[in-house]
Structure 1
Amino acid sequence: MNDSRERNYAGVFDNRLGFGARPALIVIDFLQGYTSPGAPLFAEGVVRAVDESVALIAAARVAGLPVIHTRVLFHASGLDGGLFARKVPVLRSLVPGEPLAEFDPRVAPQEDELVIVKNYASAFFGTSLAATLTAAGIDTAILIGCSTSGCIRATAIDAIQHGFRPIVPRECVGDRHDGPHEANLFDINAKYGDVVDKAEVLSYLAQRFAGDA
């Protein structure tokens, strides 16, 4: 990070929220469209994030955390995509029956895990996620998935606006380019949540829930 930028933010935008008492793991849009070479949405950064997320998802399951997955899925007409699908036409390919709209098998939901369908960037916008987390007594949203500059950022902002602590393990989110990826991690950490190493999340789960697993 640029030293002058760090000094500019220090003491103003660098507070830490920390983990709460009841976390959930939100796995955002780990779809084959982002991890299949040659696909229009393919991103090496997302492939790396999927690889890094396998162990974290397994640890969350062992700890008994709610693991909630999101996916983008549009009607074949594209009508429910609104201006978002007009701005990013490739999203129109994420329709029922399209293999690229399916989950990457390495991080696919288990049968008992909730899957939320969304049409826009934030996992909260137009979905039941906030109500679901509130009803379950969740106070912390651990966010993994893609993309860092799009759906992760939008979900982190909405999470804190809904009263949940956003935690973003840096290795477990990915984007198409390192520039927006790093810039958005910096900004999320500065203003909306805590960007931490995956090892810190794994340690937290192991210590906090050792007696509950």
Structure 2
Amino acid sequence: MADDKRVDTADNYGGVFDGSMGFGAKPALILIDFVEAYFDPSCALYAGVEDALEKALELRDAARDAGLLIIYTNVSYTESMIEGGRFAQKVPPLKNFVAGHPMGAWPKGLEPTDDELVITKHYPSAFFGTSLASTLTANGNDSLIITGLSTSGCVRASCVDCSSHGFIPIIAEDAVGDRHEAPHKANLFDMQAKYADVLPTSAILDYLGGLKL
């Protein structure tokens, strides 16, 4: 049987996976896949994550005031969904993201402005097969404040790729959401341990309030 230290997860990770990176010199903000599918109870992808959207909108307002680059992602496929490959094969409800489907639309209040960037992706990570890394590099961003859906899916995949590309991932813990609390909490714990700084929206708002780019 494992000893008491191994049984307690925080103790097990403590002293090994407890680093912190900070905000970097020039962050950007990303809002991952906040689309109607996750807010409409009639959709198979419904996740009941309205609170996460509310917090993300608070961060977006602060990011606009601070002059940050603001990025949105969505998922879109042609009718055949061939671009989705094994991801679409594994998750049939992704058919809700065929171009023109109402479940792929922005929820009310989230609509990007003309000077904000929208990246359309086919797979979980906002970096995979997109120009995101190049855009951040060209714009001089060294860190990425991450909000969006879902914590265990596209948020986590984007977080890992963010770190792998050399950017600091900052996860707004109450501005990301999932359809179940268990994977939500487990992935927040693991991202904090290995890849990102996971912070409450309030702490990020405090930081943005003193930032002018």
Q: Which TM-score band (shorter chain)?
A: over 0.9
- Aligned twin of 2:69: 66
Greater Cα shift, 92-101 or 114-123: 92-101
- State the one-letter code of the partner of 2:37: G
- State the one-letter code of the partner of 1:13: F
Per the alignment, in what secondary structure is the counterpart of residue 25 of structure 2?
coil
| Alignment check: 8 A CA contact 2:150 2:178 kept | yes
| Alignment check: 8 A CA contact 2:37 2:96 kept | no
| Alignment check: 8 A CA contact 2:30 2:70 kept | yes
- Partners in 2 of 1:141 and 1:55 — Cα distance? 16
1:83 corresponds, among 82, 86, 104, to: 86
**What TM-score, normalized by structure 1, do the two folds share?**
0.95
1:41 corresponds, among 39, 42, 45, to: 45
- Partners in 1 of 2:203 and 2:12 — Cα distance? 26
- Aligned twin of 2:112: 109
- Aligned twin of 1:205: 208
Please list the CA deviations of residues 125-148 of structure 1 after superposition, one character each: whole Å capped at 9, or x if unmatched.
000000000000000100000000
Per the alignment, in what secondary structure is the counterpart of residue 144 of structure 2?
strand
**What TM-score, normalized by structure 2, do the two folds share?**
0.95
Identity of aligned residues (%): 50
Gaps of 5+ in 1: none
Structure whose residues are more often helix by fraction: 1
- In the alignment of these two chains, the number of paired residues is 208
Superposition deviation, residue 3 in structure 1 = 7.9
- Aligned twin of 1:179: 182
| Alignment check: 8 A CA contact 2:31 2:56 kept | no
Moved over 3 A (4+): none
| Alignment check: 8 A CA contact 1:53 1:107 kept | no
Superposition deviation, residue 52 in structure 1 = 1.7
Please list the CA deviations of residues 27-46 of structure 1 after superposition, one character each: whole Å capped at 9, or x if unmatched.
100000111122111111x2
- Aligned twin of 1:144: 147
- State the one-letter code of the partner of 1:188: M
- State the one-letter code of the partner of 2:35: L
